[in-house]
Structure 1
Amino acid sequence: MTVTFVEEGGAERKFEGVEPSQSLMEVGRTHGVSGILADCGGACACATCHVYVDDAWMEKVGGADAIEAEMLDLVSEFQKPNSRLSCQIRLREELDGLRVEVAPNGY
């Protein structure tokens, strides 16, 4: 699989050969994507892996559940309709080519 992160400032980081079943946060953290801090390690207990899903991918990725939405409230000043926590996006084959923008973390 391939996933692309757009870091704050516009730098694109494209990763090929990504294994399905990882979370998007794990890919970002493994590859040192700027802004993917993942302070809680993927437990959906912070918002330090906040991303904006490219509009073309939003339907396939889906929206946040109630718990994730509560965490996104922590960064409400940066929240958009396409906001997600990358720890809650489990990669699967139909997400091959996924593109996200790393949100400002506000921390």
Structure 2
Amino acid sequence: MANQRVARALESMRSPDPALRAQGFDFLREHADAYVEEIVVAFGQERDDDLRCLLLELVAEARSPDALAFLADQLDNDDESLRFWAIRGLEMLDSAPARQALHRARVNGWIA
């Protein structure tokens, strides 16, 4: 990973120490808008479902138009937690393309 600060935060989020996990998450939450691309890449490489959910939450909280396609791709995910954060992220974007993605997902029966 190119950005060492992001890499350290992700490493902290994998720690068995709850304080370190929270510290890594809090750092990324504060800077999620600047690191959306890195967080999306980390999501794609991560195998731990709980951490993937946290990473998707960070992307949603970033409110970055650059994440629209990524969030829309998660709308048909089998994992309800991931769908929740994808919906939330698109709702927070509050743009015409985000609303269209949500509408398509409803029409396709992926979300209610």
Give the TM-score, by structure 1 length. 0.28
More helix, by proportion: 2
Give the TM-score, by structure 2 length. 0.27
The structure with higher relative contact order (CA 8 Å, sep 6+) is: 1
